[in-house]
Amino acid sequence: MINMANVFYTKKTKSQMRMRRRKQAKAGDGDEIVSSSDYAPTSTSAANDSSRKSMQFNRKRPADQISHGNQQDLLNGEQSSSGANKKTKQPPITTTTTIVIPANLTAKEAKKYRKDARRKARMKGQSEDTINFVLEGQKEAVPSEPSNDREGRGTRKNDTNHDGNNPKQDNKTTAKPKQSFPRINDLLSQHAAHQKLVDKLSKQKSINDSLPTNEKQKYIAIDCEMVGIGIDGKKSALARVSAVDYEGNILLDTHVRVPERVTDFRTHVSGVRPKDIAPMNTNAVDHESARTTVGKLLHNKILVGHALTNDLSALMLSHPRKDMRDTARYKPFMRPSGRSGGKLRPRKLRDLVYEQLGTKIQEEGKAHDSVDDARASMELFKVVRAKWEKELSSSLGGKKRKKVGG
């Protein structure tokens, strides 16, 4: 007879005993009892801790397999009872487990909640068929989703959401809006507007081509790019200057070295990089050289540009007002502010060029190019050149008559 108080089990023996109990519970042999006589004690030197080890072993064993009153009888009759159980195996007792799903979960969260519950049931050796899912606050059971992961990725036709509604009904409210297509009338109006613009530009081009050469040579368009200096880079300094003639040919395009420390290169707008205006860059010129060159080009010329006040301020130059054609200050190109009109405000060169010429400049995410902006200003001026010059000549003639009469 083996005294249970003096038996010591190794970790390997305990692991084997646990594996046996799990296999028996999974197979439904819940009435079989693990016999301590099947495992021989490996050491007798641990007699002092035998009682504590025996208590831990008894706690780990199922409660229905241990009888404190007839423990000795179980040990003596274990072999005979195990043989009888194998012959007359009784079916396992199936118990239904009800799991309550919280009502505040979304459909995706409820699906994960059920999946976790089934996983825990498999770890305990419980069949998934014995699990009933019930929504919180309801008595009806929620249909369980397929346990297979591949099947669980799809959706059944009779599945319901966590709130018990049909998912097809929910899809009606959360369905994507239908793709809208332009109407035929809108397309026709856009095509007509585009054709009108093309005819206007072709007519204007024929007028400009017939303009005498000496008349074309009077016009020069410029554009400048600035960088930031001083605190927070709020003060502007000249970093690039470009000039084109009436036909768009480049007369000048150079970077300008900044004598002061640059605190903001504004590369995303100006396109100027540190190496472009570095002191060692031989292609860049100093501010005085750029100022002198531009001053010689503008002598006895009509200056064309957009927001010329900023460009001339950066160049530290002045030009007669009667010889300036600023597209930002041309009234037909300006926009009144306020609901009931009011003061006229200048518009962006990008918007005016797209509206009057149908071309895009200064696109989002791209830096500005002073050559392209100067050409765009000249092309924009060509559209209204005849009308603009006629208005200026009439206004100047009226002023001269007033002076003579006075």
The pLDDT value given to residue 90 = 54
Amino acid (1-letter code) at residue 95: T
For residue 235, pLDDT over 70 is answered with yes
* Residues 95-117: tens digit of each pLDDT: 677 777 787 788 888 888 888 88
The pLDDT value given to residue 181 = 76
28 or 55, higher pLDDT: 28
* Residue 232 banded pLDDT, cuts 50, 70, 90: confident
* Residues 106-156: tens digit of each pLDDT: 888 888 888 888 888 878 777 767 777 777 766 555 555 544 444 444 444
For residue 43, pLDDT over 50 is answered with no
Of the chain, the percentage scoring pLDDT greater than 90 comes to 34
Distance from C-alpha of 278 to C-alpha of 390, rounded to nearest angstrom: 46
For residue 189, pLDDT over 80 is answered with yes
Per-range mean pLDDT, top range of 194-198, 242-246, 384-388 = 242-246
* Residue 4 banded pLDDT, cuts 50, 70, 90: low
The pLDDT value given to residue 67 = 43
* Residues 306-323: tens digit of each pLDDT: 999 999 999 999 999 999
Of the chain, the percentage scoring pLDDT greater than 70 comes to 67
Region of poorest pLDDT, from 41-55, 116-130, 257-271? 41-55
The reported pTM is: 0.54
CB burial class (10 A; 0-12, 13-18, 19+) of residue 72? Answer: exposed
* Phi/psi at 37 (5° precision): -75, -15
Is 118 in a helix, a strand, or coil?
helix
The pLDDT value given to residue 400 = 55
* Residues 16-29: tens digit of each pLDDT: 888 888 888 887 65
Distance from C-alpha of 117 to C-alpha of 130, rounded to nearest angstrom: 12
Tokens of 400: 């001269």
Provide the residue ranges of all domains of the chain, joining segments of one domain with +.
4-87, 94-150, 200-405
Sheet strands (E) in 183-312: 219-229, 235-244, 250-255, 262-264, 302-305
The pLDDT value given to residue 57 = 45
Q: Which residues pair with 302 in a beta bridge?
A: 219
The pLDDT value given to residue 207 = 83
74 C-beta neighbours (distance < 10 Å), count: 15
For residue 394, pLDDT over 50 is answered with yes
Q: Which residues pair with 225 in a beta bridge?
A: 240
Q: At 191, which helix (H) or strand (E)?
A: helix 184-209
Whether 283 and 255 have beta carbons less than 8 Å apart is answered as yes
The pLDDT value given to residue 323 = 94
Alpha carbon of 48 to those of 2, 57, 254: distances in Å? 16, 16, 97
258 C-beta neighbours (distance < 10 Å), count: 21
Beta pairing, strands 250-255 & 235-244: antiparallel
Region of poorest pLDDT, from 62-71, 160-169, 376-385? 62-71
Q: Residue 295, Cα to own-chain centre: how many angstroms?
A: 48
| CA angle at 43 for the pair 38 and 45, rounded to the nearest 5° | 140
* Residue 30 banded pLDDT, cuts 50, 70, 90: very low
* Residue 42 banded pLDDT, cuts 50, 70, 90: very low
| DSSP summary character for residue 256 | B
Tokens of 368: 């500005």
- Domain 200-405, second-level architecture: 2-Layer Sandwich (3.30)
Interacting residues of 37 by C-beta distance below 8 A, sequence separation 6+: 2, 75, 78
Amino acid (1-letter code) at residue 28: G
Beta pairing, strands 219-229 & 302-305: parallel
